C-alpha cells in the first residue's frame, strides 16, 4: 500500500512539527556561481529556504560547493532535532538523472524507517511542479516495505511509509497518474521478489485470479491439459517437465465501453528456471525465481492502466510455468509443433522463454489487437549488450520504436532499440524443422530471439522488450531496490501514446 498524501500550497513553516524533511532546491538559484577557496560557503541570496544557515555550515565543513548536493544530497539535524536532507535538482538534465538525485535524497530519510516525511519544494511554479512530481513519486515507490522473511532482528522488516506531506505546491488531481504508476511498479516488485516456493505457477494463478476479481477484470486460464488439446506444443514442451503440471496461459481482459483501441500485453512468467536438461550452473541459477518478471511487469502495467482510467481495452496474456529437469522434460533435438503450426527444432532447453511466449503470442494475435507488447527477461545477450541500466526493444514497426524511445526519455525508464532485419533468419534455419529455437554460440541471441518470436505475431504491430534492467544493484532511476519494476512507468506512457 502506498503512503497517503497531504498537500499544502504554502511554503513550509520553520516551526513545522516533523521528524523528517526533504528540501528540494533549484540548482541555479542556490549556487553563487563563484567557486571559492575560502573555508566558508555562502549560498545565493536569490532563495530563502528551511535550514539555509545549517546547510552553509555543512557545505563548508565538507568543503563542497552548493551545486554538488545534486549528486550528493546532504543531511543534518535542525535545531528542533528534525532530520533534514537538502538536494538540488537541475531540470536541464535528463529525467533519469533528476530521479537518481531525488531517490538518493529520499533514501537518507527512509533509512530511518519514518512513518511520515515532509517534502519542502522551492522555486518558480514550473520548478515546483517538476520537483513535486519527482519527490512524491520517489517517496511512493520507495516507501512501502517489500516482502522479507528475515526474523530475529528488530530492523529486519522496514516500517512502511504511511504519510507524505507536501509543502509549497498543490496538484489538483493529487498526482493520480503518478500514483497509478507507483501502484503498478510496487505490484511488479512484490511479485518478483517472492521466493519460488511462495510463487509456484499454481499459487501465482490464485493471486492473479484474486486480483482480477478485485479489479473487475475478466479471468480465463488455459491449463496444460487444455493447451495440449489445442496443439500448443511450444508451451507444453516447457511445462511438461514440472510435476505437478500446474502451468497455464492466463488471460485477463479489461474492457472500457468508450475505448476504440485494444492493446495486448504479453508477459513471460517462468516462476523458476533451472535451464532444464541444459542445467544452469549454481551461479546462474541463483535468482531464477525472478524469471517471471515479464509477467509481473505486464500485470503491474494492467493495474496501473486500470487505476489511471486509461481509455483502452487491454488483453493481458501471462505465460506461467517453470522450466524443470525430469524424465518428461523436453530435450535437445526434439522437434515440436507450436500452436500456429510452426515446427521447432530444440537446440538448448534454457531458451524456454521464447517457447512459452511463442504460443502465448499466437493466442494474443488471434484476437486481432491494434498493438501487442511483450515483456520478458529473455536473453543473457541483452544484458551483455546493455548491462542493467537500459532495457532493449525490438519491433516490426518503426513508429512503435519511436514511441517507445520517447516513453523511455519521459519516464526515466530508458530503452535502446536493436535491429530486426530479416537476414538474421539465416542463423535459425533448420534442416529438419521450420525453424531452430536458437543457436548454440549465442551471438546476437537477443536479436535472434526476437526474430523467432516474430514468427508468431501474425503481422500485428508488435514491440518486444527484453528486460535487462529488471534487476540493478542499488536501484535505478527513481527506484531504490535492486528489483526495479522497470517497464511499468514506461508502459503507462506507451499506452497513453497509443490511445491517441
User: What residues form DSSP beta bridges with 85?
Assistant: 22, 75
> How far, in Å, are 20, 24, 119, 125, 145 from residue 128 at the CA level?
20, 9, 11, 5, 28
> What residues are annotated to the active site?
280, 354
CA angle 90, 29, 63 (to 5 degrees): 85
Through-space distance between the first and last CA atoms of the chain, rounded to whole angstroms = 31
Given CA atoms 176, 177, 181, 182 in this order, what sign does their dihedral have?
negative
DSSP string of 31-84, one letter each residue: --S----SSS----TT---TTHHHHHHHHHHHT--GGGGGTS-EEEE-TTS-EE
Spatial contact of 353 and 291, defined as CB atoms under 8 Å apart: yes
**Which residues make Cβ contacts (< 8 Å) with residue 158, sequence separation at least 6?**
110, 113, 145, 148
Q: How far apart are CA 159 and CA 13, in angstroms?
A: 27
340: which 3 cell numbers? 500456429
In contact, 364 and 456? CB cutoff 8 Å? no
Sheet containing strand 163-167, strands side by side: 4-8, 163-167, 116-121, 20-26, 83-89, 74-77
What whole-number distance in Å separates Cα of residue 421 and Cα of residue 128? 45
Distance, in Å, from the CA atom of 28 to the CA atom of 228, rounded to the nearest integer, reads: 64
| φ/ψ (deg, to 5) at 41 | -120, 130
Q: What is the 8-class DSSP label of residue 130?
A: H
- According to DSSP, residue 488 is labeled H
The answer to whether 71 and 88 have CB atoms below 8 angstroms apart is no
What's the DSSP call for residue 437?
S
Rounded to 5°, the CA angle 106-111-115 comes to 80
Amino acid at each position: 500500500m502506498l503512503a497517503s498524501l497531504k498537500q499544502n500550497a504554502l511554503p513550509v513553516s520553520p516551526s513545522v512539527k516533523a521528524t523528517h524533511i526533504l528540501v528540494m532546491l533549484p540548482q541555479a538559484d542556490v549556487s553563487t556561481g563563484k567557486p571559492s577557496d575560502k573555508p566558508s560557503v555562502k549560498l545565493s541570496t536569490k532563495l530563502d529556504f528551511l535550514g539555509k544557515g545549517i546547510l552553509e555550515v555543512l557545505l563548508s565543513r565538507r568543503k563542497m560547493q552548493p551545486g554538488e548536493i545534486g549528486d550528493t544530497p546532504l543531511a543534518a539535524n535542525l535545531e528542533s532535532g528534525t532530520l533534514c536532507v537538502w538536494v538540488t535538482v537541475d531540470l536541464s538534465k535528463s529525467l533519469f538523472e533528476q530521479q537518481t538525485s531525488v531517490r538518493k535524497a529520499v533514501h537518507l530519510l527512509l533509512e530511518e524507517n519514518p512513518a511520515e516525511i515532509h517534502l519542502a519544494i522551492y522555486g518558480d511554479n514550473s520548478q515546483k511542479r517538476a520537483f513535486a512530481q519527482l519527490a512524491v513519486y520517489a517517496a511512493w515507490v520507495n516507501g512501502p516495505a517489500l516482502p522479507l522473511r528475515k526474523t530475529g532482528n528488530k530492523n529486519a522488516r522496514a516500517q512502511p511509509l504511511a504519510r507524505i506531506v507536501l509543502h509549497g505546491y498543490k496538484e489538483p488531481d493529487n498526482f493520480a497518474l503518478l500514483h497509478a504508476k507507483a501502484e503498478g511498479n510496487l505490484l511488479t516488485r512484490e511479485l518478483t521478489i517472492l521466493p519460488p516456493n511462495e510463487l509456484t505457477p499454481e499459487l501465482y494463478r490464485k493471486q492473479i485470479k484474486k486480483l482480477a476479481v478485485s479489479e473487475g477484470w475478466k479471468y480465463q486460464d488455459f491449463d496444460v491439459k487444455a493447451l495440449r488439446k489445442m496443439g500448443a506444443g511450444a508451451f507444453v514442451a516447457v511445462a511438461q517437465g514440472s510435476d505437478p503440471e500446474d502451468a497455464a496461459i492466463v488471460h485477463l481482459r479489461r474492457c472500457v465501453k468508450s475505448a476504440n483501441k485494444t492493446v495486448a500485453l504479453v508477459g513471460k512468467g517462468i516462476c523458476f528456471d533451472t535451464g532444464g536438461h541444459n542445467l544452469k550452473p549454481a551461479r546462474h541459477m541463483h535468482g531464477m525465481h525472478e524469471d517471471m518478471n515479464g509477467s509481473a511487469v505486464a500485470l503491474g502495467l494492467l493495474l496501473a492502466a486500470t487505476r489511471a482510467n486509461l481509455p483502452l481495452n487491454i488483453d493481458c496474456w501471462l505465460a506461467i510455468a517453470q522450466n524443470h529437469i525430469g524424465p518428461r522434460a523436453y530435450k535437445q533435438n526434439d522437434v515440436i509443433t507450436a500452436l500456429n503450426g510452426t515446427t521447432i527444432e530444440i537446440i538448448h532447453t534454457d531458451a524456454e522463454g521464447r517457447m512459452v511466449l511463442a504460443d502465448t503470442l499466437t493466442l494474443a494475435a488471434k484476437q486481432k489487437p491494434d498493438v501487442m507488447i511483450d515483456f520478458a527477461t529473455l536473453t543473457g545477450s541483452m544484458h551483455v549488450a546493455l548491462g542493467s541500466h537500459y532495457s532493449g526493444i525490438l519491433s516490426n514497426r518503426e513508429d512503435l520504436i519511436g514511441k517507445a524511445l520517447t516513453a523511455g526519455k519521459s519516464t526515466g525508464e530508458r530503452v535502446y532499440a536493436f535491429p530486426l532485419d530479416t537476414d538474421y533468419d539465416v542463423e535459425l534455419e533448420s534442416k529438419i524443422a521450420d525453424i531452430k529455437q536458437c543457436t548454440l554460440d549465442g551471438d546476437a541471441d537477443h536479436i535472434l530471439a526476437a526474430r523467432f518470436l516474430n514468427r508468431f505475431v501474425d503481422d500485428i504491430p508488435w514491440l518486444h522488450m527484453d528486460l535487462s534492467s529488471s534487476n540493478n544493484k542499488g536501484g535505478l532511476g527513481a527506484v531504490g531496490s535492486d528489483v526495479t519494476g522497470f517497464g511499468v512507468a514506461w508502459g503507462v506512457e506507451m499506452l497513453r501514446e497509443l490511445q491517441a
